């Protein structure tokens, strides 16, 4: 008897062995974020953004180091992630939607890579990502070749009132995805814009100054990352780099992932 998939359930490859083991919601009891932001230039961003989306006049480039501890679908293991995103919008049937568009992500656990790429349309690459050190610095590498480094300094803790306002905004953090699957013979089998949601509850937060750099590599040094880093390095910095550091709880809410329908 052939494999029959239940249309009411979600599957990951290899799909022959049952529904996805990745839950609709992943509750992360300890999550950490170091987020670096800087203005950039619209014309440069547009060259890297799929045609489904629009770029605002004053886009922001974001580089984030994320650490998720005790992840359910990894059997309680942890993983680190680097997210590079830009400001974007989508003109849909229900009006305009504003969110960050993920241009590239590096993760250090294959399970986190697969679930993000296949279902959420997040362009994930396997990398080696350091924990934040005592100086609040990190490095992302492919094999032995560092491709991104960054960090924060002069961090000042949020007052309780500011933290409360932050948490009100962080109840729904939206990120655009782009699910693209190439077709045999050319073209695509899937070409869909998506919206994804995370929910944060910060226990502590800080703001300060930041810095980062993209490190150009040859194909031999970083086969999956070399072209990506070359493209990201074309994005000019339009001002100072600001840093945000947050520690708390987070929910990866896959039940809120939706395909976006154009107007």
Q: Give the model confidence (pLDDT) of 72-92 as tens digits.
A: 999 999 999 999 999 999 999
pLDDT at 115 > cutoff 90? no
φ/ψ of 115, rounded to 5, equals -65, -35
Q: Give the single-character DSSP code of 72.
A: G
* CA 143 to each of CA 113, 128, 133, 224: distance values in angstroms, whole numbers, following the listed order: 16, 7, 20, 10
Rounded average pLDDT over 179-200: 96
**Residue 73: predicted pLDDT:** 95
- Cα angle 132, 136, 80 (rounded to 5 degrees) comes to 25
Residue 176 predicted with pLDDT over 90: yes
Q: What is the pLDDT of residue 212?
A: 98
Name the CA dihedral angle for 151, 86, 103, 257, rounded to a multiple of 10 degrees.
110
pLDDT at 257 over 90: yes
* Architecture, CATH, for domain 25-259: Beta Barrel (2.40)
Quote the CA–CA distance of 104 and 229 in Å, as a whole number: 9
- Cα distances (angstroms) measured from residue 191 to each of 179, 185, 197, 254: 6, 16, 20, 19
**Alpha carbons 201 and 35: distance in angstroms, whole number:** 16
Given a cut of 90, is residue 93 above it in pLDDT? no
pLDDT for res 209 = 98
- The candidate with the shortest Cα–Cα distance to 80, out of 114, 21, 127, 145, is 127
Cα-trace Rg, the chain? 18
Amino acid 29: pLDDT = 95
User: Is residue 245's pLDDT more than 90?
Assistant: yes
pLDDT at 70: 97
Averaged pLDDT, 144-161:
98
Confidence of residue 1 (pLDDT cuts 50, 70, 90): confident
Q: At 147, give phi and psi (nearest 5°).
A: -120, -25
For residues 20 and 90, give the distance between their C-alpha atoms in angstroms, rounded to a whole number. 29
Q: Which pLDDT tens digit goes with each residue over 6-39?
A: 999 999 999 999 999 999 999 999 999 999 999 9
Q: What are phi and psi of 11, to 5 degrees?
A: -125, 150
Report, as an integer, the average pLDDT of 119-142: 97
pTM of the predicted model as reported, rounded to 2 decimal places? 0.95
Specify the pLDDT at position 51: 96
Query: DSSP state, 226?
Result: H
Give the chain's mean pLDDT: 96
Contacts for 32 with CB less than 8 Å, ≥ 6 apart = 66, 67, 69, 132, 245, 246, 247
Confidence at residue 2, expressed as pLDDT on a 0 to 100 scale: 92
> Measuring CA to CA, which residue among 161, 147, 78 is closest to residue 106?
147
Percent of the chain with pLDDT over 90: 96
pLDDT at 263: 83
User: Judging by beta carbons within 10 Å of its beta carbon (0-12, 13-18, 19+), is residue 114 exposed, middle or buried?
Assistant: middle
When pLDDT is cut at 50, 70 and 90, the band that residue 151 belongs to is: very high
173-182/137-142 β-pairing: unpaired
Residue 74 to residues 23, 115, 151, 197, 248: CA-CA distances in angstroms?
11, 11, 27, 20, 19
Q: Is the pLDDT of residue 121 over 90?
A: yes
Look at the alpha carbons of 241, 193, 169, 116 in this order and tell me if their dihedral is positive or negative: negative
Catalogue the E-assigned strands of 40-76: 60-71
């Amino acid at each position: 008897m052939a494999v029959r998939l239940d249309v009411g359930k979600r599957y990951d490859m290899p799909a022959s062995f049952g529904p996805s083991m990745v839950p609709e919601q992943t509750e992360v009891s300890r999550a950490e974020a170091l987020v670096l932001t800087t203005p950039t230039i619209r014309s440069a961003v547009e060259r890297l953004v799929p045609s489904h989306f629009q770029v605002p006049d004053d886009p922001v480039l974001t580089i984030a180091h994320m650490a998720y501890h005790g992840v359910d679908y990894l059997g309680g293991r942890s993983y680190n992630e680097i997210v590079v995103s830009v400001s974007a919008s989508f003109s849909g049937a229900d009006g305009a939607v504003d969110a960050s568009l993920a241009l590239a992500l590096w993760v250090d656990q294959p399970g986190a890579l697969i679930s993000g790429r296949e279902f959420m349309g997040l362009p994930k690459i396997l990398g080696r990502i350091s924990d934040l050190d005592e100086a609040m610095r990190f490095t992302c590498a492919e094999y032995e070749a560092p491709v991104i480094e960054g960090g924060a300094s002069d961090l000042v803790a949020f007052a309780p009132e500011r933290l409360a306002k932050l948490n009100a905004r962080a109840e729904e953090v939206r990120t655009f995805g782009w699910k693209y699957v190439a077709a045999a013979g050319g073209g695509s089998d899937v070409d869909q814009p998506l919206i994804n949601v995370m929910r944060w509850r910060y226990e502590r937060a800080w703001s300060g100054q930041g810095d980062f750099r993209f490190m150009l590599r040859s194909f031999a040094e970083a086969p999956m990352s070399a072209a990506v880093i070359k493209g990201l390095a074309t994005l000019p910095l339009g001002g100072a780099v600001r840093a945000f550091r947050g520690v708390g709880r987070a929910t990866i809410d896959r039940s809120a992932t939706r395909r976006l329908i154009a107007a």
